[in-house]
Structure 1
Amino acid sequence: MATLNADHINPFLMASTKILKEMCFVDAKLGKPHVKDPVFLDNTLVILIGFTGEMKGQVMIAFEHDIACDIASKMIMMPVTQLDELARSAICELGNMILGNTATVFSTKGIEIDITPPTVGSGTMSFSNNYAKNICIPLEYDDNKKIEINVAIKGD
């Protein structure tokens, strides 16, 4: 599995759009996938979840703070204006659900993966991994709101 292809990325996208719809009542449209350096700016919340097993790598789900508040508001069904502990917890749980669902999709294709507990970061961050290009897929909703799903899969 040295090269990354749609079969590797699609389960992440299927799970992301499904969970956003079920948990947040958000119809996310897929943007154009592109290679992106995993660098995030000051007003960004990032959920980092690794995966191991028959496929290894990491997923970083990035939200600008106002988008993270919007998503957290939809999840807990009350207004969220700042990224307090409850909001961060809700966003972490969203990440868990997306990756758990992704693992289920992969298992139906005969690929078993396990996920790590989520790590939350905020502020200006840069990640480096020496094993894979980071593929960024923007998910857009409500005209101009955007969540970035960043997937880096380790080749053999």
Structure 2
Amino acid sequence: MKVEWVNPFIEASQMILKQMANISCEKGTIHIKDGSFDAPDVMILIGLTGKLKGQAILGMNEEMAKKIASHMMCGMLVDELDEMARSAISELGNMILGNTATLLSNQGFEVDITPPTLLVGKKVSISTNSNQTITVPLNTDYGIIELDIAIKE
């Protein structure tokens, strides 16, 4: 996977987390996972179609998801991932990948994204359409968001 494909995901994630949830994040050490891996408690899955194909997964623990949802809902207390909180988390993924698609388009890689799918549960395994998945840890004051990217041309 090419670096110029990964950087827009990181840039969009940092920008949207700051704008929509007032959460700053720093990129951790990027590493590679096999195409099948154990996932965190909360995952936002979004597919990419067009010149690049695959999926991106934003994963986090449930406490992190509740904190993000709370920030996105103007500080409203979120003590469970109810319908409103799940909608906020899904929309976060939608905005991040929408901005990623724009940044990729500016580089000449026309892509579309699928609507987000939110998965919540313990001990979930994920299999991507790729043999390898690039994982970018996004370190915040509230914990780590895992950005898993599995795309190909």
TM-score, structure 1 normalization: 0.91
Aligned-partner Cα distance in 1 for 2:134–2:108: 23
Measured against aligned partners, the alpha-carbon deviations of 1:34-89 in whole angstroms (never above 9, x if no partner) come to 11243115xx1101000000000100100100000000000001111111111110
Is structure 2 residue 150 aligned with structure 1 residue 152? yes
Name the structure 1 match of 2:84.
86
Letter in 1 for 2:7: N
Could you tell me which runs of 5 or more consecutive residues in structure 2 were left unpaired when the two chains were aligned. Answer: none
Letter in 2 for 1:129: T
Is structure 2 residue 9 aligned with structure 1 residue 12? yes
Letter in 1 for 2:50: G
Letter in 2 for 1:136: T
Name the structure 2 match of 1:57.
54
Name the structure 2 match of 1:131.
130
CA contact (8 A) 1:28 1:139 kept: yes
Measured against aligned partners, the alpha-carbon deviations of 1:6-39 in whole angstroms (never above 9, x if no partner) come to 1010000000000001001111010011112431
**In structure 2, do the counterparts of structure 1 residues 16 and 130 end up closer, same or farther at CA, with 3 Å as the change threshold?**
closer
Aligned-partner Cα distance in 2 for 1:101–1:130: 22
Letter in 2 for 1:57: G
In structure 1, the residue corresponding to 2:132 is in which secondary structure? coil
Name the structure 2 match of 1:102.
100
RMSD across aligned positions (CA): 1.3
**In structure 2, do the counterparts of structure 1 residues 132 and 8 end up closer, same or farther at CA, with 3 Å as the change threshold?**
farther
CA-CA distance at 1:106 after TM superposition = 0.7
Alignment of 1:70-81 (within 5 A): 70-77=67-74, 78-81=76-79
Name the structure 2 match of 1:27.
24
- Larger fraction in strand: 2
Aligned-partner Cα distance in 1 for 2:130–2:138: 25
Letter in 2 for 1:137: V
In structure 2, the residue corresponding to 1:94 is in which secondary structure? helix
Identity %, equivalent residues: 48
